Structure 1
Amino acid sequence: MIEELLPDAVACAEAFDDPADAVLFAEEEALIAKAVDKRRREFTTARHCARQAMAKLGLPPAAVLPGERGAPQWPAGVVGTMTHCAGYRAAALALDTEVASVGIDAEPHDVLPDGVLKAIAVPAELAWLPSVSAAHPDVCWDRLLFSAKESVYKTWFPLTRKWLGFEDASVTVDPVGGTFQARLLVPGPFVAGAELTGFTGRWMVRDGLILTAISV
């Protein structure tokens, strides 16, 4: 599903369960030696997806270790992102000669827990949510907003190596076209000589999941 949201230059792989043949490199195994089963399964399968995406790019399998702020460290010349939630894991990778950065997120299609929306939404987002929710009640727009902001951060961080808070971007959603716009409320990174003032992403709701994705 996730490949439907990204350009052809991005290699994607996803899983809806945890395959028995998914294995880790020794250095990855060391990171989760004491992890609970749930964490072990999502960690392992996400990296299994990442190595499938590497193969699609013609690259050999490689360990994916967490780096600064937990961001995955990819092989030289590769940009990428991973996500996981209950019943879904995915990775999306590209060559840095084709794509500057990519971010994906998956969430269960359900309303956010109490209190989360106020913690992640800026006033402009709180203003459009009621009308969109009333017009299209079949989508959990608060959760979609959260997912979009997660994809924004995953795209932003490799370009800047800086933190981006939920309050630092304002998202608007096209409820019919399956796209969203994220306007940065802080100075943006420079890509190909031009400053980015925001990101354009795509979203879908299918099979009990919300998926969002951005590529630059």
Structure 2
Amino acid sequence: MLESLLAAAPVTVVETREDPADPFLFPEEANVVARAVDKRRREFATVRQCARSALSELGIPPVPILPGPKGAPRWPDGIVGSMTHCAGYRAAVVARSSAVRSIGIDAEPAAPLADADVLKLVSDETERAALAGLGIRHPDVPWDRLLFSAKESVYKTWFPLTGRWLGFEDARLDLDPDGTFSAALLVPGPRVAGRELTGFRGTWRIRDGIAVTAIVLPLTPAESGT
């Protein structure tokens, strides 16, 4: 899913729908999930196997990928990336920092949010009104779940740029039926290439019961030398 969604981006994607029988973890990684339930350990291990496979395509040898501040993965020097997992799907996307500034991906079950209160927590009145209109025109799409997923991708893209928390209320999203979305930051953004970043643009897709969202923030042409 993500591989085809991000085919035009300068990134490497590895995704899977199954956990290997005995997924490998470095000792440092195993310590992180030593007290976790089996489901959590398998998710943790499989998504890191995806990440190491993606890194190997960039010539990076296997290394531990440990959670850093706020749980964000700590990537090797010169690498940016993002990981995600949900029931029946795990994926990692990586790129060289010489081509991409930040990446955020998220995967969710392609079903409406189970609790209506969750939507109130992650959206404002403007977003909920837009979702209602989308639901009338495209009732087969779980727009509330897509909004939640897209906001997760926004946060994962934001945090490596700032090292700061971004609340659900700090970005207003606009989902488009064409498979794209935009996020307007409602708080001061980081300075990127000498200018304040005011938002992100991303893509989404639903297939085989899974919804994925992704943001790839490339370097400007001047920065990348193109």
Normalised-by-shorter TM-score class? over 0.9
1:15 matched to 2:16: yes
Match of 2:215 in 1: 214
Match of 2:105 in 1: 104
- Between 1:46-55 and 1:21-30, the stretch displaced more is 21-30
Match of 1:64 in 2: 65
Match of 2:32 in 1: 31
Q: Secondary structure at the match of 1:63?
A: coil
Structure 1 runs of 4+ aligned residues shifted over 6 Å read none
Match of 2:78 in 1: 77
* Residue 21 to residue 36, structure 1, CA distance change in 2 (3 Å): closer
For 2:204, the aligned partner's letter is W
Match of 1:54 in 2: 55
**C-alpha distance in 2 between matches for 1:10 and 1:118:** 34
Q: Secondary structure at the match of 2:10?
A: coil
The share of aligned pairs that are identical, in percent, is 61
Per-residue deviation, 1:125: 0.3
Match of 1:3 in 2: 3
**C-alpha distance in 2 between matches for 1:208 and 1:196:** 33
Match of 1:127 in 2: 129
Q: Which runs of 5+ in 1 are unaligned?
A: none
Match of 1:180 in 2: 181
Q: Secondary structure at the match of 1:101?
A: strand
> Structure 2 matches for 1:137-216, cutoff 5 A?
137-175=139-177, 177-216=178-217
Q: Secondary structure at the match of 2:155?
A: helix
What RMSD, in angstroms, separates the aligned Cα atoms of the two structures?
0.9
Deviations 1:144-193 (A, max 9, x none): 00000000000000000000000000000111x21000000001112222
**C-alpha distance in 2 between matches for 1:200 and 1:210:** 17
**C-alpha distance in 1 between matches for 2:80 and 2:54:** 11
For 1:153, the aligned partner's letter is Y
Per-residue deviation, 1:20: 2.4
Per-residue deviation, 1:22: 2.4
TM-score with structure 1 setting the length: 0.97
Asked if the contact 1:105–1:150 (Cα under 8 Å) also holds between the matched residues in 2, the reply is yes
**C-alpha distance in 2 between matches for 1:165 and 1:67:** 19
TM-score with structure 2 setting the length: 0.93
Per-residue deviation, 1:21: 5.0
